[in-house]
Amino acid sequence: MAALAGPIGLRLRRHPGFVTGRDGRLSTSTTLALAWTVILVWLLLTILAYGLTAGGGVGWFSGERGPLSPLTTVYLPLLGGPYVAMIAAKTVVGIRVENGSMAKPAPKPTGSGQRPLRELIANDSGRTDLVDLQYVVLSAVTMLYVVLFFLSDVGGGLPRLPAEIWALTGAPAGAYLVNKMATRANPVITRVVPADGALVVEGGGFGPEARVELDSTVLPTEYDPATGILTARLPAAGAPAAFTVVVTSRGLRSDPYRHAAASPEPAAAAAPRPAG
């Protein structure tokens, strides 16, 4: 297990792009589908090695109660639920991003390139999502069941778990997918640029009725349907050096977007004049 999962884990820790979504954050559905793939491959390779050595050869694999007999009734459904959820979720998110009803905010830089595991149970705003949490927890519990039952009797082949156990991944995967389809996407701010006495607000989930608030003050706002960008006129005093922007659209509010002016780079120290 360590020989299989160790290199994969180290690779993903340093370069997690394989299990991240459009926004660069860890994807819950992709990560769980990959975890189930690693576990199933480990089970099959271990059973193969055992059968060709201690199991007595090829004949050990045959028979109605052979070591692989639960594969189609239990383990493929266990694997299928996360994969269906992953493919369907990517499709739903892709469609909503393309039609402008959803925007994926840029991930916060971590410095090392690694992504925090908390992203598996958090929404785009960084808050814990109950649906994601139950999907991850129930999947982890099911994986633990499979691994421990297998280790208790490697010679018995794939553990003969109840066929209904697939519901521990299938039902949470279904709830995860329904949540992706049914949740009304709050407006998302991805970028704010002060320019020529106005604020240019980029993101998604905006509409003609969208309004921009600067430090809780509503600004006159114009919406460009061609680009989906909001332009809000600043007051005569202009924008402060640091401010918070919130967008309200269709009765939904975005998370606050904090904007701070870039600090000027310190001037290089003057070189000392030579003596004399």
Region of residue 202 (left: phi > 0; alpha: psi -120 to 50; beta: else): beta
- Confidence category of residue 271, pLDDT binned at 50, 70, 90: very low
What's the pLDDT at 235? 85
Give this prediction's pTM: 0.68
- Confidence category of residue 221, pLDDT binned at 50, 70, 90: very high
- Confidence category of residue 184, pLDDT binned at 50, 70, 90: low
What's the pLDDT at 179? 83
Amino acid at 195: A
Who's near 125: CB < 8 A, 6+ residues apart? Answer: 186, 255
Of 135-139, 176-180, 209-213, 235-239, least confident by mean pLDDT is 235-239
Summarize pLDDT for 16-51 with one digit per residue, the tens: 666 776 666 788 888 899 899 989 989 998 888 888
Q: Which has more confidence, 108 or 215?
A: 215
**Is 188-260 CATH 2.60.40.10?**
yes
Is the pLDDT assigned to residue 108 strictly greater than 50? yes
User: Where are the domain boundaries for CATH 2.60.40.10 in the chain?
Assistant: 188-260
Is the pLDDT assigned to residue 174 strictly greater than 80? yes
What's the pLDDT at 274? 52
Parallel/antiparallel/unpaired status of strands 221-224 and 188-195: unpaired
Is the pLDDT assigned to residue 186 strictly greater than 80? no
What's the pLDDT at 111? 52
